[in-house]
């Protein structure tokens, strides 16, 4: 299981500082959607320059113009880009084709996507499918149960990620469960008094 650390709702300067601290300590650094909206492709370039060891995921949340947005995102330095599962099949296909051509990765965000729609978009074998619990939802996610249910319904999905309020205990349980490729953690690391210490604790559980 890999650890993806999400940097969100901070200035570009702070994002670069955090990315530098996390480089090589986390498997993937995520440039959150707020940074995409606040700074655009300039932020992708800035974070790419800082990161030497960790992969860079840009949470673009593409809904349309898939080929254009993915070509631009990869051009400016992303390794992984996100497209919403709620987008049209044609948009998902366009994003996937660009990703494959450039030997990069597409992540499909399944936020509020019905089982019926998921069934229609299962034919992207190299894509990562991400279970995503909305930050606006008041109830806490049971990550292990969500993963188990998804795996039972869609066993053909081989690359799975999970995001949304993940803490250290949930990470430990997910690592033991062994069904997830990527666990996404945000504020539990980036808002910690020492992000370097926090990320070390998460990695210890993942590699236990």
- Span 55-100, pLDDT tens digits: 999 999 999 999 999 999 999 999 999 999 999 999 999 999 999 9
Give the CATH number for residue 117.
Answer: 3.20.20.70
Q: Which residue has the tokens 């039972």?
A: 152
Task: Classify the C-alpha dihedral 193-195-200-203 as positive or negative.
Answer: positive
> What was the pLDDT predicted at 138?
65
Number of domains composing the chain = 1
> What was the pLDDT predicted at 141?
76
Q: Which residue has the tokens 């998804």?
A: 150
Name the stretches of the chain with pLDDT < 70.
138
Question: For residue 131, which phi and psi values (nearest 5 degrees)?
Answer: -75, 130
Give the length of the chain. 208
> What was the pLDDT predicted at 159?
98
Question: For residue 62, which phi and psi values (nearest 5 degrees)?
Answer: -60, 135
State which residues form the domain around 103: 2-206
Contact 88, 62 (CB under 8 A): no
């Amino acid at each position: 299981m890999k650890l993806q650390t999400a940097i969100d709702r901070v200035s570009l300067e702070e994002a670069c500082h955090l990315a530098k601290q996390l480089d090589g300590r986390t498997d993937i650094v995520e440039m959150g959607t707020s940074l995409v909206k606040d700074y655009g492709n300039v932020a992708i370039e800035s974070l790419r320059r800082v990161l030497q060891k960790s992969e860079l995921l840009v949470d673009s949340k593409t809904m349309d113009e898939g080929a254009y947005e993915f070509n631009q995102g990869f051009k400016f330095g992303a390794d992984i880009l996100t497209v919403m599962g709620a987008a049209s099949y044609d948009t998902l296909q366009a994003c996937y084709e660009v990703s494959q051509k450039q030997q990069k990765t597409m992540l499909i965000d399944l936020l509020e996507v019905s089982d019926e729609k998921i069934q229609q978009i299962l034919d992207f074998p190299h894509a990562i499918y991400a279970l995503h619990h909305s930050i606006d939802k008041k109830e806490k996610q049971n990550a292990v149960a969500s993963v188990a249910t998804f795996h039972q319904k869609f066993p053909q999905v081989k690359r799975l990620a999970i995001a949304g309020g993940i803490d250290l205990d949930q990470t430990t349980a997910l690592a033991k469960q062994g069904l997830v490729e990527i666990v996404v953690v945000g504020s539990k690391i980036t808002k910690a008094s020492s992000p370097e210490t926090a990320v070390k604790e998460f990695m210890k559980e993942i590699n236990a």
